[in-house]
Amino acid sequence: MIQDTALPAGPAAGVVQAPLSMREPLPVPVVRAEDLPYEAYLSQFVRRNRPVVIDGAAARWPAMQRWNPDYFRSRFGDQTVQVSYKQRMRMAEFVDAVLASTAEVPGPYLYRTFLHEHMPALLPDLIPENPYTFAARYGSPLMPQRWWRPDGYLKLLMGGVGSSFPVMHYDLEHAHAQITEIYGDKEFYLFSPEDGQHLYPRPLQVNWSQVDNPAAPDLSRFPQMASATPWRAVLKPGQTIFVPMLWWHAARPLSVSISVCTNTLDRSNWAGFVADVCASPEGQPFKRLLKRGYFSGAGALMHAMEDFQNLAPGLARALKFPGAVSAAAPGWRSDPSTRKLEFRIPVA
């Protein structure tokens, strides 16, 4: 056997390897709401699973004028809010900590307060509904109670400079997410699902990355990050970012920042949703089969009813039930159901 001893084991002596560096981020496209009808949003971004920033989607929300740190301190100062999974604080103290937050001494970041459950007094500030955050199938009466969330898990996000959403992640259940900035600026880093292999998913929580700072990661610890393509957006008041299913995302305020976040589910992510909610090994195999059968059948029916509304809107309106089974667009949403919104661990 011939052994080739001439091949060098590493870089040739004297050749200096270029240090790894991150790729330049691609800008997430920004489109004005008046140039993006709901159908175009679905076909160009949701169904293609591409991110977009929509400018002015919720321009008429009273929140755009009202919400600032002082509003939360003076109106809700005594209320105890869930800041993170572990931390609860009085709103007044939380707001003070946000205002005192700096890059050197970061303050808390609030991401576990759900408006319907915890701060319903804020809901009138978010009317009229942002059409691009339409929860769609989460609101269908065919959704079992456990997954029925016509509000799309609407939640509050707040933090100051130096703080951040705690982890780069993608949302579970193949959910799409939409985050609307109301006050201040927030920076987003996004990575496509294909880049997941470069993002160091945690072994026991595969939708969480181990990379703590995706904007400037430590490439000696995370060299694969140099092969990933970052997408960047700075969300300003009045802008909504669409984060498609399975897209990794990280967010950090560039100034004191207040926003709201929702999740949405429609035909584009239904199959993934069904696979995820039926994947759990809990329960007997027969029950799991039934569950999968139910969700697949319900999805097919919703699909047909949505098509019905699009193909024969006059007839669908006259018959009422197609829109009631699954509204194809925000305008089709039926009267609020009497079913009670129950709290459960959401998808983040």
Q: Which residues bind Fe ion (CB under 5 A)?
A: 171, 348
Comparing CB distances to ligand AKG, the nearer of 51 and 299 is: 51
Comparing CB distances to ligand AKG, the nearer of 56 and 346 is: 346
User: How many other C-beta atoms lie within 10 A of the C-beta of residue 336?
Assistant: 9
- Residue-level length of the chain: 348
Task: Report in angstroms how near the CB of residue 181 gets to ligand AKG at its nearest.
Answer: 9
Reported in sequence order, the residue ranges of the chain that DSSP labels E, i.e. its strands, are 26-27, 30-32, 52-55, 80-82, 88-90, 109-114, 155-159, 176-183, 186-191, 201-202, 205-209, 231-235, 239-243, 248-253, 257-264
Comparing CB distances to ligand AKG, the nearer of 64 and 348 is: 348
Instruction: Please name every residue paired with 258 in a beta bridge, in sequence order, or none if there are none.
Output: 158, 183
Task: Report in angstroms how near the CB of residue 124 gets to Fe ion at its nearest.
Answer: 26
Comparing CB distances to Fe ion, the nearer of 171 and 195 is: 171
Comparing CB distances to Fe ion, the nearer of 73 and 176 is: 176
Comparing CB distances to ligand AKG, the nearer of 237 and 322 is: 237
Using Cβ positions, the residue closest to Fe ion within the complex turns out to be 171
Smallest Cα–Cα separation from 174: which of 203, 202, 137, 209?
Answer: 137
Task: Report in angstroms how near the CB of residue 39 gets to Fe ion at its nearest.
Answer: 25
User: How many other C-beta atoms lie within 10 A of the C-beta of residue 328?
Assistant: 26
The string of DSSP codes covering 265-331 is B-TTTHHHHHHHHTT---S-HHHHHHHHHHHHHHHHHHHHHHHHHHH-HHHHHHH-HHHHHS-SSGG
Task: Report in angstroms how near the CB of residue 43 gets to ligand AKG at its nearest.
Answer: 24
Write out the residues near ligand AKG by the rule CB under 6 A: 111, 157, 165, 171, 177, 179, 249, 251, 259, 261, 348
The whole-angstrom distance between residue 238's C-alpha and the CA centroid of its chain comes to 17
By a kind-dependent CB cut-off of 5 to 8 A, residue 261 interacts, out of Fe ion, ligand AKG, none, with: ligand AKG
Task: Report in angstroms how near the CB of residue 169 gets to ligand AKG at its nearest.
Answer: 7
By a kind-dependent CB cut-off of 5 to 8 A, residue 191 interacts, out of ligand AKG, Fe ion, none, with: none
Task: Report in angstroms how near the CB of residue 159 gets to ligand AKG at its nearest.
Answer: 8
Residue 75 exposed, middle or buried by CB count within 10 Å (0-12, 13-18, 19+): middle
By a kind-dependent CB cut-off of 5 to 8 A, residue 149 interacts, out of ligand AKG, Fe ion, none, with: none
